[in-house]
A and B are shown apart, each in its own frame.
Chain A
């Protein structure tokens, strides 16, 4: 024995977490300056937010906020949070402060945009939930696939196929028939994806992209070849909203969650079911083991291929249901490429929700909020060009994917074909 070195010493080291905290601090202070300079300085009047309609059972008075003072306070809070992060931030406070800060900044933005006008907050929240439907269902689809080790880029195509089939079959057989057919077609594309990536070991990303192209081509072809001439084939009944007694009368929350159509209720049920399935059942445990360590699962007699087939097909059915929302849940008519990238926003929601159904719901609500906000704000005639407002959900998606990835734990076997020996 020659020497013994290095009794551990306590030294302060600049960890990446510290760096993140400092960056968060700078971002927050920047936000504070922006809120103070743009949203507070040149704004006058009160912002009026309607929380209920006069006809509601329990009407709630409007929320009236003096715009400039409110936004100055927001700026001050932001500055405080930022300074705190910058000076001695770290740990879980970084994410929390950033989240609170962004939420406050959005509030300030809304107040600024509404200053001197009135705006239905409860209406927007209701729209938020509606617009979150395809996102949360798409996110659960992606999650179910990725939890078994299959990356699903084809959510977009599955949604589109569901929307198309819902409209077509719905026009012929009525809403329920259309809904069932949409679920079936989603399952079919799930099955196809599973076959391509599991049995034929196609690259998972390419398989997803190809399914998207195929569905886009097929639905566009049929809608121009058939729907153009036979309009009655593209005229499906729409599922109307129905109020759940008592719960639906609660101000703000009621219209958002309990006075909606079957798609909203279906999504909320799916969140519960998917959570139970993935984390509390035998099947879910096996599914997750296949996504994390397929060889280990195989050595224990769990059929990796069958598990992937079943889960991806079931996930496709969820996407098919979500797709039907576009037609049976809103306009009853199919338009080319009407999903408009929501399948990919759903993927971002899945990441943001950390592969958990409840997280996905929260994330989908955030995106739904961005989506409905850009729509409602267009009515308020803000100085911001409508094109830029329309970019909001996309930019939010990029920010989320950039900010969350790398700090979310993804299932270890994702993206890789399992080759049984």
Chain B
């Protein structure tokens, strides 16, 4: 099945997300769709899978123009999408998720789960995607959940598979395995659209490449002749530097010492299992790992948001295991939280209020019981200017800012005072290249000025680019440590550790 998109335009109010985009998708071929965050890739694919109606332009399948009045119509036409954020119901089983929307039934609307299981097993056998049909999604690792997503699309006998940033949650080895699946699907005659912002991956897997920037197509390419540098320029619109400038590694005093820290999840499962680590001033320690291996719980325990059940945390010579968030903050611990929308900012509050969100009580802002708002505003204006947060006014609501500027706001709040230790969780997730560069620069600057930095990210490239030392977490434990201060660390070795395979002493 071949699909052509012709002149697709999609607007949201005054913002043009897609402008006159042409795209050709062909059976038996992997089309790489490259673009940075916010370039309009997801919007375009949501148009193709029927979630959005385009304002202008046509979708043509095998020569005939079609319109989709909803996702159901697109599915019926044979288009299936694996979303970046999985669209699986966590409390349902694999089989229930696979057949949701096209359920086999018997009399009185009775759900025929036996038939569903059989379908899942058949697809699994045919494409090498074995999964237990009765396993509950929330009990499965993310790699397996992704398989379920693909099974889900195949159960609907889709001929076009759209894969939106599918490798974001995988280890390097899992990516290789995943590429194997993609190739076998392609060889089975499926048309694949592979969406990513990772240059090496798109060069490896694609047969053709289309690059988007600012909602427009900025280039087409042949992966055999293109270089990463050239692709990056097409994607960002200017030459991009891949490395980060750092002063020589010169660690100072021991700043943070975590000993045998054990943290539980809400359901009493162990999230972090006897974790020990150290951070010195003037170094960046990176925590690598596939999402859901206890990194978040570890960060929450160190920052005081979650009480550990065992172990100690010593910061700047003091035992802070049972000390409040605020006291840690006052001691010079800064925290860029994982999910800025949910935990970093309050969207309905102004930029100024957000700037004072966790230090409204200190002498910069407060006098007795009351907060001195003019002081908050002038300080906020200084920090906004300092950290290049693009906002019309400090009285604008934070929700009106773009993701990159919201994150800069968080970074400004955390680094605009005297800090000793910066804890950054997924500091650049979902940001455009410019913001990523800026935030990386700020993090490195903090380290060069003598702060200790503990950075957690599921983007291995980010960890590799920034860290002086790398710790790998797997199933709640730190399973490996790498010294990155002298020579670059072997990406594959880190990847193996992320997958939990036992590292060898000689490696």
Contact = CB atoms under 8 A, between A and B. Distances in A.
B149 to A, nearest CB: 10
Contact of A16 (B83, B110, B268, B507): B268
Given A13-B262, A280-B111, A412-B90, A1 B273 contact: no
Interface stretch (A51-59, A94-102, A290-298, A386-394): A290-298
B100 A286 contact: yes
Interface string A1-38: 11111101101011111000000000000000000000
Residue picked from B87, B90, B493, most chain A C-beta under 10 Å: B87
Contacts of B83: 299
A349 B359 CA distance: 43
A87 interface: no
B274 to A, nearest CB: 5
A148 to B, nearest CB: 13
B87 A4 contact: no
A295 B88 CA distance: 9
A17 B268 contact: yes
B481 A2 contact: yes
Given A3-B481, A6-B276, A299 B81 contact: yes
B111 A282 contact: yes
Interface string B29-66: 00000000000000000100111100000000000000
B482 interface: yes
A285 B72 contact: no
A16 B264 contact: yes
A115 B235 CA distance: 85
Contacts of B275: 6
Contact of B310 (A11, A284, A295): A11
B146 to A, nearest CB: 14
A152 B91 CA distance: 22
Contacts of A296: 87-89, 100
Nearest to B262: A13
Interface stretch (B239-247, B380-388, B422-430, B472-480): B472-480
Contact of B87 (A281, A286, A295, A409): A295
A4 B503 contact: yes
A311 B109 CA distance: 16
A289 interface: yes
A283 B477 CA distance: 43
Contacts of A15: 264, 268, 309
Interface string B479-507: 11111000000000100000000011111
Interface in A71-109: none
A385 B482 CA distance: 72
A281 B108 contact: yes
Nearest to A8: B273
Nearest to B506: A1
A401 B100 CA distance: 33
Given A17-B268, A295-B87, A1 B503 contact: yes
Contact of A293 (B87, B103, B109): B87
A282 B75 contact: no
A1 B480 contact: yes
B180 interface: no
A298 B109 contact: no
A285 B111 contact: yes
A268 to B, nearest CB: 19
Interface in B55-113: 70-73, 75-76, 81, 83, 87-92, 96, 100-103, 105, 108-111
Contacts of A292: 89-92
A286 B100 CA distance: 7
A40 B506 CA distance: 74
Contacts of B493: 1
Contact of B109 (A5, A283, A288, A303): A283
Contacts of A285: 92, 96, 100, 103, 111
A366 to B, nearest CB: 26
Instruction: With a 10 A CB-CB cut-off, give which of B101, B478, B504 has the most chain A CB atoms.
Output: B101
A11 B260 CA distance: 11
Contact of A297 (B46, B100, B480): B100
Contacts of A421: 46, 51-52
B111 A13 contact: no
Interface string B336-374: 000000000000000000000000000000000000000
Given A282-B103, A299-B71, A300-B101, A293 B88 contact: yes
Contacts of A302: 72, 100-101
Nearest to B470: A2
Contacts of B507: 1
B65 to A, nearest CB: 21
Most chain A CB within 10 A, of B52, B96, B109, is at B109
A421 B51 CA distance: 7
Interface in B258-285: 262, 264, 268, 273-276
Given A14-B309, A293-B87, A298-B51, A281 B101 contact: no
Chain B interface main SS type = mixed
A301 interface: yes
Contacts of B103: 282, 285-286
Contact of A5 (B91, B268, B478): B478
Among B75, B81, B89, B478, the one with the most A-chain Cβ atoms within 10 Å of its Cβ is: B89
B274 A8 contact: yes
Contacts of A412: 90-91
B505 A13 contact: no
A8 B477 contact: yes
A293 B89 contact: yes
A4 B500 CA distance: 12
Contacts of A282: 103, 105, 109-111
A196 B71 CA distance: 25
A409 B266 CA distance: 12
A6 B100 contact: no
A9 B262 CA distance: 11
A277 to B, nearest CB: 8
Contacts of A17: 268
Contacts of B105: 281-282
Given A1-B505, A8-B274, A282-B111, A298 B71 contact: yes
Contacts of B76: 301
B274 A6 contact: yes
A276 to B, nearest CB: 8
A227 B250 CA distance: 87
A289 B92 contact: yes
A273 to B, nearest CB: 11
B72 A409 contact: no
A11 to B, nearest CB: 7
Contacts of B91: 292, 409, 412
Contacts of A295: 87
Contacts of B478: 5-6
B483 A301 contact: no
Contacts of B72: 300-302
Contacts of B96: 285
A269 to B, nearest CB: 15
Given A2-B483, A292-B90, A292-B92, A286 B101 contact: yes
Contacts of A9: 274
B49 A299 contact: yes
A409 B267 CA distance: 11
B51 A299 contact: yes
A107 B310 CA distance: 42
B309 A301 contact: no
Nearest to B73: A301
Contacts of B309: 13-15
The 3 residue pairs across chains A and B that have the minimum distance between CB atoms: A301-B72, A300-B101, A296-B87
17 contacts: A2-B469, A6-B477, A6-B478, A8-B477, A15-B268, A285-B111, A286-B103, A289-B92, A292-B91, A292-B92, A296-B89, A297-B100, A297-B101, A299-B87, A300-B101, A301-B70, A302-B100
Given A5-B478, A282-B110, A300-B72, 6 more contacts: A13-B310, A15-B309, A282-B111, A285-B103, A293-B87, A301-B76
